[in-house]
Amino acid sequence: MSDMTFERMISQMTPAIYESLKQAVALRKWPDGRRLTQEQTELSLEAVIRYEVENNVPPQQRVGYLEQRTCGGSSSGTDIPAELAGLGRDASRD
């Protein structure tokens, strides 16, 4: 396995290995329960990301995907109670 490069490993990665690595990174544990080291976490995450790019995984299914939200939208925000909008009461008015 001395001739195995990172690129070659990614090109030979199966969907099952990809899912296993993705789960290991998320849980910070290997399937047998051993904790990943910092280096293992970084390399596994890089492998997962490279696999996703090279195999055209839809962005919504990729690691770290965040749905884009727009400001405003259909609601002006005036119908949201202050408590739910993250606004506390004004203590200076007490």
CA 31 – CA 25 distance, rounded (Å): 11
pTM, full prediction: 0.64
pLDDT tens profile 33-86: 999 999 999 999 999 999 998 988 888 888 877 787 777 555 555 566 666 666
Residue spans of the domains in the chain: they are 6-61
The strand pairing partners of 29, in sequence order, are 35
> Does 88 score more than 90 pLDDT?
no
